[in-house]
């Protein structure tokens, strides 16, 4: 099967290549796990051989800021937690936050829904992560810009390389 005949989000993607190049350039401790495309966090964790809570779920959001154009945030939290959109909006000084549509996600992340890594490669996409994710495990696992590959990365390397803003954005 050639790359062009793969379904969207399967096989090498520009985001996957950029991510691996970045991790190599930064001497990160990581491994790539290729696997069948899977949808649910629990299923992907089982395939990866990791805990669900190690999963770094990246959710692309649009924030309505008073008297300003929309702001875009990539919110990262443990896969076994739920995002609190009101808390995220308040942290970012916004009136309201909502999840982006699949089309908007592809425009800002160059990824299909479900394949977004917890890294921002777009200047208009602010990276905000819940600190709890980084206190639970020494490694985090995440989709690598494609649905059929994951990366397991040392937590301290993620924080050093991605440098997300840290805020408690999970539901209590």
Q: Which of 131, 114, 28, 121 is nearest to 76 (CA)?
A: 131
State how far Cα 69 lies from the chain centre: 23
pLDDT tens sequence across 131-147: 999 999 999 999 999 99
Contact (CB, 8 A) for 171 and 81: yes
Q: Give yes or no for residue 5 having a pLDDT over 80.
A: no
33-166 belongs to which homologous superfamily? YbaK/aminoacyl-tRNA synthetase-associated domain (3.90.960.10)
Contact (CB, 8 A) for 145 and 106: no
Residue spans per domain, the chain: 33-166
**Does the reported pTM lie above 0.85?**
yes
What does the alpha-carbon distance between residue 93 and residue 88 come to, in Å, rounded to a whole number?
Answer: 9
Return the H-helix or E-strand segment holding 166.
strand 165-166
What is the mean predicted confidence (pLDDT) over 52-72? 95
Which pLDDT value is given to residue 131? 98
Q: What is the DSSP letter of 118?
A: S
pLDDT tens sequence across 106-116: 999 999 998 99
What is the mean predicted confidence (pLDDT) over 27-43? 90
């Amino acid at each position: 099967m050639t790359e062009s005949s793969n379904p969207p989000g399967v096989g090498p993607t520009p985001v996957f290549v950029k991510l691996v190049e970045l991790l190599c350039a930064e001497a990160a401790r990581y491994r790539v796990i290729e696997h069948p495309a899977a949808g649910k966090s629990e299923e992907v964790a089982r395939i990866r051989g990791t805990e669900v809570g190690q999963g770094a779920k990246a959710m692309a959001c649009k924030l309505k800021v008073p008297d300003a154009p929309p702001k875009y945030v990539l919110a990262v939290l443990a896969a076994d937690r739920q995002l609190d959109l009101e808390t995220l909006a308040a942290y970012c000084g916004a009136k309201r936050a909502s999840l982006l549509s699949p089309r908007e996600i592809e425009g800002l992340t160059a990824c299909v829904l479900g394949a977004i890594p917890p890294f921002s490669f777009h200047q208009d996409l602010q990276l905000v992560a819940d600190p709890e994710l980084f206190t639970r495990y020494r490694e985090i696992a995440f989709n690598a810009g494609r649905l059929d590959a994951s990366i397991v990365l040392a937590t301290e390397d993620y924080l050093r390389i991605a440098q997300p803003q840290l805020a408690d954005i999970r539901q209590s």
